[in-house]
Amino acid sequence: MSSSTAQASQLVDGLITSSQSKVVIFSKSTCPFCDRSKGLFESEFPGVGVEVVETDEHPIGDEIRAYLAEKTGQRTVPNIFIIADGNVGNDDLMALYRSEKLAELLADMEKYVPRSLFTQV
């Protein structure tokens, strides 16, 4: 395992296991689906802590995306981790939102830390 691959796995696993946020989004700054997912949290759940990693702007972004594909089987972004529920993509996120289960899931989570919505990593 190369050092950048090890760094990517440490970053990803660290964020999804010990983040103070309820949601971690691995994104690309040019992706319209990523913008839609981030926008949903910003407009509908402004008090929910969300951490965003813009993989196309991160020094080891390629390695992060490769590790996420290996870990989750999902090769596309956004790759969204709702800490209590595992990872989802944009389609899953929108389905959770339309069914009102996303609001329930976020409300039921024990760990709520009010923070600014987006913390760049």
pLDDT in tens, 11-29: 999 988 876 778 899 999 9
| Residue 69 in this model has a pLDDT that exceeds 90 | yes
**Structural domain total, the chain:** 1
Closest CA to 56 of 83, 30, 19, 81: 30
Where residue 109 falls among pLDDT bands split at 50, 70, 90?
Answer: low
Contact 97, 40 (CB under 8 A): yes
Q: What is the pLDDT of residues 30-43, one digit of tens each?
A: 999 999 999 999 99
| pTM of the full structure | 0.75
CATH code of the domain in which 64 resides: 3.40.30.10
Most confident of 41-45, 59-63, 88-92, 103-107: 59-63
Can you give the residue range of the structural domain that contains 47? Answer: 3-120
